[in-house]
Amino acid sequence: MATDITDTTHAVDAAAVMRLLPTRPRLLALGEPTHGEDTLLDIRNELFRQLVEQEGYRTIAIESDCLMGLVVDDYVTSGTGTLDDVMERGFSHGFGASAANRELVRWMRAYNDGRPASEQLRFTGFDGPLEITGAASPRQALTALHDYLATRVDPDLLPCTAETLDRLLGADDRWTDSAAMMNPAQSVGQSAEARELRLLADDLVALLDEQAPHLIAATPRDDWDRACLYGRTATGLLHYHFRMADTSPMRMTRLCALRDLMMAHNLLALAARGPALLHAHNSHLQREKSSMQMWQGPVEWWSAGALVNARLGDGYAFIATALGTIRHQGVHTPPPDTVEGRLYALPEDRYVVDAPHLAAALGDPRPAPRVSPYFGYAPLDPSHLTGIDGIVFIKDLPGTPKS
């Protein structure tokens, strides 16, 4: 079996990835099994650079706040701001502190310098304005959408004034109270004001759609795209806050599902604009349902990758990353009867392997699932191999061992 797998392993480069796919996908996703490891992001950067230069991809999208990502896009396309400021204000989840993310932004800006807009790289975050501890206020998205419409359509068509939105939104710290994640009673998501805001957000998005012929003709396409992003984000956040106030047993399942739904809507909008490269945790990009053990028990929901794949078919491809060891996090040599253990036994340190071929070579029953000793690392699910187009396997992740 090892020889059979070895026959389909290749160096980690764009050519090896593209050989796994029947055609160039509209969305090409690279996943990672853990966050916070710059080695993985360095590999992503080099692979994405090759795909940009050899395959013509022009958008790079990562698992970060979609509104904060606008700051990064402005910088890489026009040089607005400074690199230090962009890294501080343009990323969520602490990703701005990553040296590899900084290098990605620096390279994108250098690539775009002197190129016409039609040939420039674009950056986007495709996550919602969400953190594990809670969600952002819908203020930025709602007011930006209202401002866009107020300057471009008949005022009598607007469902409310800016002052009404401001009154209903109230203080932002009501929305961002981290206590609401563990205690639904602390959430304002089902208050009378929040319910009215949901109706107004729907009306504003409907008005945006109704006026599309005029708005697209009268304003730059980027302005229209951003208005649509504001609309998706406003409605998504208000739904998320509504579920934060929910007391049903399905509360966390719905919250996880809504986050990935927001991701999927952003990714489908990217696909409509042109070919894009994606990077996020494997669990957000896989074609199967995602699952997680949380404080109230296991939750299961359809990932963004599954939702996008259902719409795009061959227009979506997913390359997972798998790891042998993360010794500084207590993840040591994988047991030989796991998928990672079989891959670890091969001589190469880093390679790309055809996942469906690997699944056929392993046969049934599948190897045992690897048990992670570290909450931040998710091993491959042996039952999901046929839903992955390829695997980038990294035998040993360098790092500083724990003292």
155-199 tens-digit pLDDT = 999 999 999 999 999 999 999 999 999 999 999 999 999 999 999
pLDDT-derived band of residue 403, with 50, 70 and 90 as boundaries?
very low
- Say if residues 326 and 377 touch (Cβ distance below 8 Å): yes
pLDDT digits (tens, 9 = 90+) for 247-264: 999 999 999 999 999 999
pLDDT 10s digits, 365-381:
889 999 999 889 999 99
State the pLDDT at residue 6: 61
Give the model's pLDDT for residue 8.
66
Instruction: Report the distance separating Cα 145 and Cα 271, nearest Å.
Output: 22
The Cα–Cα gap between 172 and 150 comes to 23
pLDDT digits (tens, 9 = 90+) for 72-105: 999 999 999 999 999 999 999 999 999 999 999 9
pLDDT at 366: 86
| Residue 328 backbone dihedrals phi, psi, to 5 degrees | -70, -5
pLDDT of residue 294: 75
Residue 84 phi, psi dihedral angles, 5° rounding:
-60, -45
Alpha carbon 250 to its chain's center: 23
SS (H, E, C) the chain: CHHHHHCCCECCCHHHHHHCCCCCCCEEEEEECECCCHHHHHHHHHHHHHHHHHHCCCEEEEEEECCCHHHHHHHHHHCCCCHHHHHHHCCCCCHHHCHHHHHHHHHHHHHHCCCCHHHCCEEEEEECCEECCEECCCHHHHHHHHHHHHCCCCHHHCCCCHHHHHHHHCCHHHHCCCHHHHCHHHCCCCCHHHHHHHHHHHHHHHHHHHCHHHHHHHCCHHHHHHHHHHHHHHHHHHHHHHHHCCCCCCHHHHHHHHHHHHHHHHHHHHHHHCCEEEEEEHHHHCCCEEEEEECCEEEEEECHHHHHHHHHHHHEEEEEEEEEEEHHHCECCCCCCCHHHHHHCCCCCEEEEEHHHHHHHHCCCCCCCCCCCCCCECCCCHHHHHHCCEEEEEEECCCCCCC
Amino acid at 206: A
Per-residue confidence band for 4, with pLDDT thresholds at 50, 70 and 90: low
Instruction: Evaluate whether 54 touches 15 at the Cβ level (below 8 Å).
Output: yes
295 vs 196: CA distance, rounded Å? 32
350-360 average pLDDT score: 94
Q: Of all residues in the chain, what percent carry a pLDDT higher than 70?
A: 97
Do 304 and 288 contact (CB within 8 A), yes or no? no
Q: Is the pLDDT at 27 greater than 60, yes or no?
A: yes
Which amino acid is residue 335, in one-letter code?
A: P
Cα distances (Å, whole numbers) of residue 36 to 29, 44, 100: 18, 13, 10
CB neighbour list of residue 367: distance below 8 Å, 6 or more residues apart: 337, 338, 339, 341, 342, 382
Nearest-Å Rg of the Cα atoms of the chain is: 22
Contact 247, 186 (CB under 8 A): no
Q: Compute the mean pLDDT over every residue in the chain, rounded to the nearest whole number.
A: 95
Which has more confidence, 71 or 297?
71
Tell me which of 18-22, 260-264, 289-293, 324-328 is least confident: 289-293
Phi and psi for 387 in degrees, rounded to 5? -95, 10
pTM: 0.95
pLDDT of 401 higher than 50: no
Over range 29-44, report the average pLDDT.
97
Checking if the pLDDT of 2 tops 70, the result is no
What distances in angstroms separate CA 82 from CA 90, 197, 222, one per listed residue?
Answer: 11, 35, 22
What integer pLDDT is reported at residue 7 of this predicted model?
60
Q: Is residue 392 within 8 Å of 380, Cβ to Cβ?
A: no
- Asked if pLDDT for residue 269 goes beyond 50, the answer is yes
